[in-house]
């Protein structure tokens, strides 16, 4: 039988492991885009499994077929299970109909990361973006998902926004 | 100030920030999968996992010492007990048992009943030589090296390979005498 999944490990154990993931991938690439793509791949593997796991455990083997349903599943259920809290916000893009954004003031995977100046826009949130993409793809809503830093006025650290742009075929839903 | 009493693994674990073990497990799985794709040979993957563990171990020991109030262990037996009861608990939320001491008290086995790294994992036929949890042995080796103990850590039993438990063999190779740090300007 499937475990309830209430077990925990220390945040440091995860942070150290994640840091090894980033450092290892740094040795495998020669540019930032490639590094982000590899982190996204790793996240994708997590997302695909989380979808299966949570659909079995929480939803009686049913999976969302509505766009807003799957988005709120990601923003609430997936976030809560993986990161211990619901994501700060889920918004619809104002300029494009097919874009949605999940924002997080302090994304868990960015918490212990400071990006050196010479690495430009590199964002470890690519891992979280990969998780989101893994869940959406698995549920039948293919999308391009990217992570971005957005400066917040009066705050030292920028928030992380995960931009979801659904594929052409999703729009007809 | 009198030294603080060492804290139990449970007490430390209760006070550290924690995350869902599944996030940890699945992230580790993603790492292993990337390594298998990149390196192709399982032996190379075993080596890389051990190296990653070593890197983690040399950083993790600082937090361990700071939060557990454990100071110098009187002998290797105490060291092993501390790893099993405090170290494992503090970071992974599980404890191990220590058995099978040799006569000199320099090697023993850590038996893990519960191993958060292996949830949802099955080894396919193509990966039979893989030590899936090899990162753990690296962590222990790295952490002990930082407290002047050179060790060799190997897997004796692995449930993913059909054994009935996880058994790590811990062998003390030598104790490195402590050296005073040299002055920076020399």
Residue B18 host element (H or E) = strand B18-20
Q: Which residues have C-beta within 8 Å of that of residue B53, sequence separation ≥ 6?
A: B134, B135, B136, B137, B138, B139, B140, B141, B142
DSSP assignment of A84-117 equals SS--SEEEE-SS-TTEEEEEETT-GGGTT----G
| Cβ contact, residue pair B24, A45, below 8 Å | no
- % of chain A exceeding 90 in pLDDT: 69
ipTM of the complex model: 0.92
Note the pLDDT of residue A145.
Answer: 97
Q: How far is A42 from chain B (nearest CA, A)?
A: 5
Which one of B10, B17, B25, B27 would you mutate to disrupt binding with A, by most A Cβ within 10 Å of its Cβ?
A: B27
Q: How far is A8 from chain B (nearest CA, A)?
A: 4
| Cβ contact, residue pair B18, A11, below 8 Å | yes
Which one of B7, B11, B23, B58 would you mutate to disrupt binding with A, by most A Cβ within 10 Å of its Cβ?
A: B23
pTM of the full structure? 0.92
**Could you list the mean pLDDT of each consecutive 10-residue stretch along chain B, which spans 186 residues?**
78 92 96 95 96 96 92 89 95 95 95 89 88 96 95 95 94 84 61
Cα(A113)–Cα(B99) distance, integer angstroms: 39
pLDDT tens column, B33-75? 999 999 999 999 999 999 999 999 999 999 999 999 888 888 9
Note the pLDDT of residue B3.
Answer: 66
Q: Is A42 on the interface with B (CB under 8 A)?
A: yes
- Interface residues of B toward A, Cβ cutoff 8 Å, are 13, 16-24, 26-31, 33-35, 38, 48, 52, 55-56, 59-60, 63, 90-93, 116, 119-120, 135
For A55, the token pair is 């659909």
Note the pLDDT of residue A37.
Answer: 96
Q: How far is A97 from chain B (nearest CA, A)?
A: 32
Which one of A1, A10, A44, A132 would you mutate to disrupt binding with B, by most B Cβ within 10 Å of its Cβ?
A: A10
Q: Which of B137, B147, B180 is nearest to B70 (CA)?
A: B147
Q: Which residues of chain A, if any, have pLDDT below 50?
A: none
Note the pLDDT of residue B2.
Answer: 62
**Which domains, ranges and CATH numbers included, belong to chain B?**
42-175 (3.30.1380.20)
């Amino acid at each position: 039988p499937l475990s309830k999944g209430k077990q925990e490990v220390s945040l440091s154990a995860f942070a150290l492991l994640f840091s090894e993931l980033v450092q290892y991938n740094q040795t495998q690439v020669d540019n930032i885009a490639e590094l982000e793509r590899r982190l996204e791949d790793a996240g994708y593997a997590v997302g695909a499994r989380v979808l299966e796991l949570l659909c079995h455990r929480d939803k009686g083997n049913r999976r969302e077929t509505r766009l807003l349903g799957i988005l709120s599943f990601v923003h609430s259920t997936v976030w809560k299970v993986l990161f211990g809290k619901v994501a700060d916000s889920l918004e619809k893009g104002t300029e494009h109909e097919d874009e949605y954004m999940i924002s997080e003031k302090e994304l868990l995977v960015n918490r212990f990361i400071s990006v050196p100046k010479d690495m430009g826009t590199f964002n470890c949130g690519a891992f979280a973006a990969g998780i989101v993409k893994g869940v959406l793809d698995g549920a039948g809503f293919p999308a391009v998902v990217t992570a971005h830093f957005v400066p917040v006025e009066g705050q030292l650290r920028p928030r992380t926004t995960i931009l979801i742009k659904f594929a052409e075929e999703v729009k007809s839903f | 100030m009198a030294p603080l009493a060492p804290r139990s693994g449970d007490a430390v674990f209760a006070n550290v920030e924690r995350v869902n073990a599944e996030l940890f497990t699945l992230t580790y799985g993603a790492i292993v999968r990337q390594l298998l794709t990149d390196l192709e040979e399982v032996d190379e993957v075993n080596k890389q996992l051990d190296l990653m563990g070593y890197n983690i171990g040399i950083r993790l020991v600082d937090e361990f010492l700071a939060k557990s109030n454990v100071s110098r262990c009187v002998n290797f037996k105490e060291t092993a007990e501390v790893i099993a009861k405090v170290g494992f608990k503090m970071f992974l939320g599980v404890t191990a048992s220590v058995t099978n001491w040799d006569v000199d008290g320099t090697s023993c086995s850590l038996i893990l009943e519960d191993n958060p790294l292996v949830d949802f994992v099955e080894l396919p036929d193509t990966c039979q030589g893989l030590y899936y949890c090899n990162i753990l042995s690296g962590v222990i080796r790295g952490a002990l090296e930082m407290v002047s103990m050179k060790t060799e850590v190997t897997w004796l039993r692995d449930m993913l390979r059909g054994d009935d438990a996880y058994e790590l063999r811990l062998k003390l190779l030598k104790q490195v005498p402590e050296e005073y740090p040299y002055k920076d300007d020399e």
